[in-house]
Amino acid sequence: MSAASELHIYTTRRGLVLALFVMAMGALLARAGFLQIYERDFLQGQGDSRQQRVMSIPAHRGMIMDRNGEPLAISTPVDSVWANPQETLLAREQLSAVAKLLKINREDLYERLAQRADKQFVYLQRRVNPDIARQVMALNVPGVNLQREYRRYYPLGEVAAHVLGFTNIDDSGLEGLELAYNDWLSGEPGSKRVLRDQLDRVVEDIERLRAARPGKDLTLSIDRRIQYLAYRELKAAVLQHGARSGSIVVVDPKTGEILAMANQPAFNPNNRKTLRSSHYRNRAVTDVFEPGSTIKPFTVAAGIGAGKFKPETVINTSPGYYMVSGHTVQDEHDYGKINLSRVILKSSNVGASKIALGVTPKQLWQAYRDVGFGEITGSGFPGESAGLLSDYRRWRKIERATLSFGYGLSVTPLQLAQAYTVIANDGVLTSLSYTHNNPHVTSSRAMNATTAKTLRRMLHGVTGDEGTGRRARIEGYSVAGKTGTAHKSTVGGYDEDRYVSVFAGMAPVEQPRLVTVVMINEPSNGDHSGGKVAAPVFSRVMSGALRLLNVPPDNLPTLQANTPEPEAGAA
C-alpha cells in the first residue's frame, strides 16, 4: 500500500473517532441540558432527600424549685449515640471500636443493628458521658451520630426523692410531683431541616421549622432546709430504733402548704440502677395505719361539739377498765375521776370510750369526717390514699369505743397532719398543697373556734411533766401535741409485739406556726411508745424549723397537772 493510501486511511479513522467523541459529547450536553431544564425540580428533590433531614430540637423540662427559689430538679443537656443501620452495617470492623467505648458486647451491638436493618434510626446508648460521646464521634464511623437530649438531676438526692419522684429515660414524669405536674413541666420539641455529609453527620442547619418550647418552672411549698432537717432526723430515728419504716410531714396550718415530707427507706433518683419499687412510694401519702391515741382530741371535740360534755366535765375511769359489750377497755392505771383535760393528758382509753358512747354514732363520725378522715386531703399527689372511716350505721357499741382511741379506722400521716391543722388553725380545715401560693387552696369551718383553742390548751398539757409527750418539748417554745402507740393489726387480731409509734403536734401553742406528724413503723429496739420514739424526732425537727423560719420564742411555760399521778406508759 502506498504512503498516500495509508495517510488517507489514518485521516479517515481520526476523523471518525473525533466525530464519535463530538457526538457523545453532544449527547451528554443534550442530556445534561434536558435534566437541568426539564428534570431539575425532581432531581433536586431526590438529592435533598438523601442529604437533608428534618431533625427534632429537644426542649428541656421545667425546673422544680423550693419556696425560696433553690433548685430541687433541673434538666442538664447530654448526648445520646445513635446509628443508621443501613450505613453502619457496612462498616462492621469499625463497630468494634464503638462497642468498646460504649462498653457493649460487639456481637450484641451488631445483632441489634441487623435486626433493625430496615430502619434509619437506632439508639446505641442513651445519655452518655460527654467525653465518651466525643471519642465515639472521633472514630468517624459511617451512620453513627449524636443526638442532644436532657437528663433530670436532683440536687438533694434521696432527701426529697419521695416528694419529687423521678422521670423516665425520655424525661417524662413517672412518680411524685414529676408525674402530677408532668404537663406543666414538659416542653414541646421543635424541628429543623439540616444538611448531612456522606457520613450522615450534620454539617449545616438549613432552616428552623418550629421553635422548641421549654417546660414551665414549678415552685413548691417545700423548704429545702426544713426538708433536709426532717429527712436527717427521721432516718436517724428509724436506724436507732430498728424500725421497718417511718414518715414525717411538716405543714403550715394557715396556708395548708407542705414545708417538708420525708420517708424511710428512701432512694436516690439520680442512680436509676438502685431503684426499688418498695422504696420509692411516698408512704406519707399512700400507706395507712391506725392512729392510736392521736385520735383522742377529735373524740373530745365530738363530745364538746355535741353539747354533751364540757372541758370541766368529770368522767369516772375507775377501776381502770371498762366493760363494753363483753369486751374490756383498759387503761395503764386507775386514774379515778378526771376531767376532759386529764383524759387527754393521761391518754385514758376508758375516758375516751365514755365520751364516744355519750354521743350518737353520727355525731362521732361527723367529727372525724369534718377534719378530713376518710377523704383525700386535696393535695393532688398521685396515688394518695383516703384512709378508712366506715359508715357509722354499721358501728357496734364496741367499735364506737375502740374508734375513740384510734382503733378501727386508718389514716395516712398526711391526713393526720391535716386534721391537726384544724386544731392549730382555730377550727378551719384548709386543703393541703405542695405548691407555693397556690390560688386553688380551699378552706372550710370544721370545728368551733373555741373548741379548737380549748383542745390546744389540753394538748399543751401533754408535754408537761405528767404528760406522755414530755420529750416533744422545745426550748423557748410552747408545744401542744399528742402521743400515739398502736398495736399493728394482723390476720386474726392484733400483734402484741408490733407497734406504730406516733406523735402529732404544733408550736407555738397560742399562734401555731407549724404542725408536724411523725410516724415510726415497727420500732424493734426496746422502746415502742410514741412518747419515747416519735416525740423526740418532733422536738428536734420543730426546734430547727421554727428557728429557720425566724419564729420568735413565746416562752410560755409548759402547763403542769394539779395533782401528781403515776406516769402513763404506752399512749
pLDDT for 204 = 58
Residue 260 has pLDDT above 70, yes or no: yes
CA atoms 235, 238, 242, 245: torsion sign: negative
462 lies in the same domain as 316: yes
Q: Which of 440, 437, 441, 438 is nearest to 428 (CA)?
A: 441
pLDDT for 107 = 83
Using an 8 Å Cβ cutoff, are 152 and 257 in contact? no
166 lies in the same domain as 106: yes
CATH number reported for the structural domain that contains residue 199 in this entry: 3.90.1310.10
Instruction: State the DSSP string of 216-271.
Output: PPEEBS--HHHHHHHHHHHHHHHHHTT-SEEEEEEE-TTT-BEEEEEEES---TT-
540 lies in the same domain as 459: yes
Quote the radius of gyration of the chain (alpha carbons, Å).
36
Question: 360 in a domain, yes or no?
Answer: yes
Average pLDDT over the chain, rounded to an integer: 87
Give the residue, 213 or 309, on which the prediction is more confident.
309
Residue 223 has pLDDT above 60, yes or no: yes
163 lies in the same domain as 233: no
Question: 14 in a domain, yes or no?
Answer: no
Place 565 in a pLDDT band, splitting at 50, 70 and 90: very low
pLDDT for 205 = 60
What's the per-residue H, E or C state across 375-403?
CCCCCCCCCCCCCECCCHHHCCHHHHHHH
CATH number reported for the structural domain that contains residue 229 in this entry: 3.40.710.10
Give the span between the Cα atoms of 427 and 363, in whole angstroms. 17
pLDDT for 194 = 61
Give me 12's grid cell.
479517515
Place 197 in a pLDDT band, splitting at 50, 70 and 90: low
DSSP H or E segment with residue 313: none
Question: Grid cell 426523692 — which residue?
Answer: 161
122 lies in the same domain as 156: yes
Give the residue, 292 or 51, on which the prediction is more confident.
292
Residue 433 has pLDDT above 70, yes or no: yes
Question: 565 in a domain, yes or no?
Answer: no
149 lies in the same domain as 238: no
pLDDT for 211 = 75
Give me 531's grid cell.
412518747
Question: 291 in a domain, yes or no?
Answer: yes
Give the residue, 29 or 64, on which the prediction is more confident.
64
Q: Which of 182, 204, 219 is the last residue of a domain?
A: 219
Give the residue, 121 or 352, on which the prediction is more confident.
352
pLDDT for 259 = 98
Residues in contact with 188: Cβ distance below 8 Å, sequence separation at least 6, in sequence order: 59, 212, 213
Q: Which of 246, 225, 220, 219 is nearest to 234 (CA)?
A: 246
Residues in contact with 554: Cβ distance below 8 Å, sequence separation at least 6, in sequence order: 476, 477, 478, 508, 509, 510, 511
Which residues are the active-site residues? 293
155 lies in the same domain as 231: no
Percent of residues, the chain, with pLDDT higher than 70: 88
Lowest-confidence segment of 31-40, 41-50, 353-362 by average pLDDT: 41-50
Instruction: State the DSSP string of 467-520.
Output: STTGGG-BTTB--EEEEEEEEEEETTEEEEEEEEEEEEEEESSSS--EEEEEEE
452 lies in the same domain as 394: yes
Using an 8 Å Cβ cutoff, are 271 and 153 in contact? no
Lowest-confidence segment of 8-17, 175-184, 224-233, 267-276 by average pLDDT: 8-17
Q: Which of 553, 544, 488 is nearest to 516 (CA)?
A: 544
Look up the domain containing 539 and give its range: 224-268+282-548
Place 560 in a pLDDT band, splitting at 50, 70 and 90: very low
Residue 347 has pLDDT above 80, yes or no: yes
Place 453 in a pLDDT band, splitting at 50, 70 and 90: very high
Give the residue, 327 or 555, on which the prediction is more confident.
327
**10 Å Cβ neighbour count for 320?**
16
193 lies in the same domain as 311: no
Give the span between the Cα atoms of 388 and 377, in whole angstroms. 13
> Please, which residues bridge with residue 74 across strands?
153
Residue 409 has pLDDT above 80, yes or no: yes
Q: Which of 347, 253, 350, 365 is nearest to 305 (CA)?
A: 365
Give me 460's grid cell.
399543751
Place 93 in a pLDDT band, splitting at 50, 70 and 90: confident
Using an 8 Å Cβ cutoff, are 395 and 403 in contact? yes
132 lies in the same domain as 238: no
* pLDDT tens by residue, 370-406: 999 999 998 999 999 999 999 999 999 999 999 999 9
Number of domains in the chain: 2
238 lies in the same domain as 179: no
258 lies in the same domain as 185: no
Residue 77 has pLDDT above 70, yes or no: yes
Question: 13 in a domain, yes or no?
Answer: no
Residues in contact with 150: Cβ distance below 8 Å, sequence separation at least 6, in sequence order: 58, 60, 61, 75, 76, 77, 78, 171
Question: 188 in a domain, yes or no?
Answer: yes
Question: 35 in a domain, yes or no?
Answer: no
Q: Which of 36-40, 201-205, 207-211 has the highest mean pLDDT?
A: 207-211
> Please, which residues bridge with residue 150 across strands?
77
Residue 322 has pLDDT above 80, yes or no: yes
